[in-house]
Structure 1
């Protein structure tokens, strides 16, 4: 499968250095009404401390950040401080957050990498309780800038300093929500062996996820997190070329609905086994824009035809 987001700085990059048991250092508190509304994300955020408070960050929210501190910066636990509190919506459990991230070496102060600044936010990711990212983002509001110290438990380095700008907060049920097909929606024809050919109109691609059910199955409803088995073909709206196809490989693919890009997830969840659907998705619901992702499909509107063969509940 080729559907996993591969942003230059993605959820995997953000959580790669999360400490095992790190959340044990979070402050114990009785959640307030605001915290409860945010799914207790406020309560699980990393605590503040003297080390993180010693870091100075320059630059406007949304623009490239520079962190200044006395190196080497020594710490053994994660600390977090909200440097700028935005006036937008607070992150709730499951919300999709677009963000910018700058990473600095705690030993030298050197900038290691950054992405998402200057109007090209990194592809949005869901912030959920227990994900690891919740420890850093907490229930920060849109427009906030957060600085975090991230220890390295391997002993290979002194750790890192993250500067995170929360650029957008979208409720889960609104992120990449499905719209009715437009007049220029792609058409699909199947050959005698059931292999599809997708034809793209000479028209502007849709700005939202559009979905059409070609055939409705009578099997079980696909639920979030199910492991599904599907046949699929994916093409680029820009030129109609096939970039991936299980039909061409001659073998269906099996994966979790939570392990694919948002537009593809929307095409699966809520459908019934036995259904065949066509979905078109803009870059934000696929592999991101070219300014925020290094994936080969960045910036592309993608179209898939999907035959849902089976679905099974994920083991708890």
Structure 2
């Protein structure tokens, strides 16, 4: 059976919920298809010690402030899941959980959304699937030879899983620094932190509030034709959250150059030196989860779909939300996704009325 709505939102996480909030305010008939069986989006899969970069009152979706978490300046991932669950219920958002969308196709004057549990026809689609389901691991020589454990950021949960082991953490971004710090501070593991370039820590007083303002200022400058300010990247790569600061200041967070290859039992650097290794955690980033849009043939450079704001240039009935700055300033953050979600809903309302 094929169901029909004015709009189908693909993705039940923070971006999908923000889209639903603004679609409801526009009086649009819509449904939200979420792949996870429960509310909370990617936050329900984060590692145990993860906390936000920003206080609760600066980490909110449109219409509803995130409540503070007792005893915590920066809420943990579980608190975010509770907030998103409450948000979905408070606004009675029509999320269908456990629906895996497989393809979006053109179907005459509508778009056809095909999933494992059926299909939906819509006059417009918002894709808000994020990046968590598409981890990236670089093609390092010898990766297939290594007999130890390999996992990605998305699979890491707790330092308890690596007690007594030597762990190599790869990646000079936030996840690499935080997981290396988590292992060094709270586990019984020996940690080597490998990065392609020396890590760049942001000043200790910078958190998500400032980062959002910087990202927004950069987008406004670009939109106005002014010089690129460099945005967040101009400040550094790693937010010095309390555990990262503690590990850094204790001398436990010292990066080593990236190794050149893997061996059967560990890693090897360009100078021939080696380290026996039990596990490698690849904190090497994520890519936009856009495979369901392949039938539309919209892919551009770097795997991105060219957009004007959130609207796909090659398919005006499609909006992309929450994948990063290319779909709105800071749109992959809780506080940042509200504005592009509002703009997408307004443009879709205009499309529907034409």
TM-score normalised to structure 1 length: 0.24
Which has the bigger relative contact order, CA under 8 A and spacing at least 6?
2
More helix by share: 2
More strand by share: 1
